[in-house]
Chain A
Amino acid sequence: MQWRPRKYDFQAMKILIASPLRSYTGADEVEAYGANLRALLADLDARYPGIRFRMIDEQDSVRRHMRIFINGEPVKDLKYVLDETDEVCIVQALSGG
């Protein structure tokens, strides 16, 4: 069955995707809906199954080497309320070999 977005009061947000997660999305920029970060990640996982657990652990914490920036600010609280104009970036920490 083709995925269809649920009805929301606002438009889909654009999300920049870190390169390690592009095997899920196939693109560096995707869209998802959510009134807060938790809902946004749930929607993202519905579109790209498995992607959430690779960046958020089972205790609902952002994984150690992953970062989520909203409008340029790092956010770890999944209850963070989103606005449709927010810019969401999921990035990986810089690392060595």
Chain B
Amino acid sequence: MAKAKARAKRKATSKKQPRPARSKDGLLLVATRKGAWLFRGNAARNEWRADGPHFLGHIIHHVMLDPRDGKTMLATASTGHLGPTIFRSTDMGKNWQECPRPPAFKKQEGGRTVKHTFWLTPAHANEPKVWYAGTSPQGLFRSEDGGITWNEFSGLNDDPKYRAWMGTEQDGTPNGPKLHSIIIDPRDPKHLYFAMSGGGVHETMDGGRQWKPLIEGMEVVAGFDPKTVTFHDPHCVRLCPSNPDRLYQQNHCGIYRLDRPAKVWKRIGKTMPTQIGDVGFPMVVHPHDDQTAWVLPMDGQTVWPRTSIKGAPAVYGTSNGGKSWTRLDAGLPKSQAWWTVKRQAFAADRGKPVRLYFGTTSGEMWASQSEGKSWNCIARHLPEIYAVETAQI
């Protein structure tokens, strides 16, 4: 009964907002270790014009266009020397202003320091100026003025239980522990998910007053106890826009699917070819079909090379919710291509058919106009690519 009520409430609060008028041109927002680039594509997506670099020399971790107004962009930045900040544009990247109060932890004895803002998520359509941000080390922040000023959100950053699960920076990944995959239920602005590397997947139903781990069914490195939240390392979690009750996850230890209201993740990566395995970083979901998703497997053996397996990059796609996977490598190099693709560097647009894009740490941008069936390179010689987002303009 309570669940039915919650669903009815989510449905009731989900109002359709008028979308800004768009042409059919495409936009790729590419964040790199040395700056940001905006790639503007024609309607056919067979011609791309590079606009950049923006912020040359800055480490740009994520660039995101607000889909609610179609013109506000945020870019999270740091440099090798300077502290983190966020730049904001309200004219599609023509001009940028620095946000006067970027995410920062509160000052206190033993307090933490934001090294960089790693992840940006525009909030629910009914909260037009609200954004969420995830940082390294793990912190959750919220802006209510379109990304100009930021505050810690929900008490999570100082919750003793969550601090223990976050671990110390020494426990984190080589580029620093991160809070990422901030997901808003499109039916309910108070229903949120986020993930931490490391520290598991978490959910709130009440706008952040209470958070609960959502880790059952997820595996951890052999020899560790999967009941211990801190041992979990989800790399990327995505919600299906066509079915907000379905989540897909690429984890350090496999590929998973979760169909709510169930709370137990199902490891769907076991059906991947054994010589490929199910290790990787990004996870991409189809915008119109909850049975379809894509991954980009990486070598997770021994010391974790995190490169294309045997130097032959391939996307793997499922069209049946993970029951089986198809290798999608037409047009990609067949050998000696030791690519790494980071968790934010693989994205889908909302086209029909869906177009896919990924960027490599060796600075190449690849695109597929056929939902992965064939690929072509659209940019080379960029710096190390950290994140790729798509938009229609």
* A-to-B contact residues, CB < 8 Å: 18, 20-21, 49-50, 53-61, 63, 65-66, 92-93, 95
Contact = CB atoms under 8 A, between A and B. Distances in A.
Contact of B83 (A49, A60, A63, A93): A63
Interface in B80-97: 80-83, 85
B81 A66 contact: yes
B124 to A, nearest CB: 28
Contacts of B83: 53-57, 63
Contact of A54 (B85, B106, B107, B111): B85
B107 A59 contact: yes
A95 B80 CA distance: 8
B379 interface: no
Contacts of B81: 18, 20, 63, 65-66, 92-93, 95
A7 B50 CA distance: 50
Contact of B111 (A53, A59, A93): A59
Contacts, number: 51
A55 B82 contact: yes
A56 B114 CA distance: 11
B273 interface: no
A57 B111 CA distance: 11
B111 A58 contact: yes
B107 A53 contact: no
Nearest to A60: B107
A65 B79 CA distance: 10
B133 interface: no
B80 A50 contact: no
Nearest to B109: A59
A26 to B, nearest CB: 14
Interface in B45-99: 57, 79-83, 85, 98
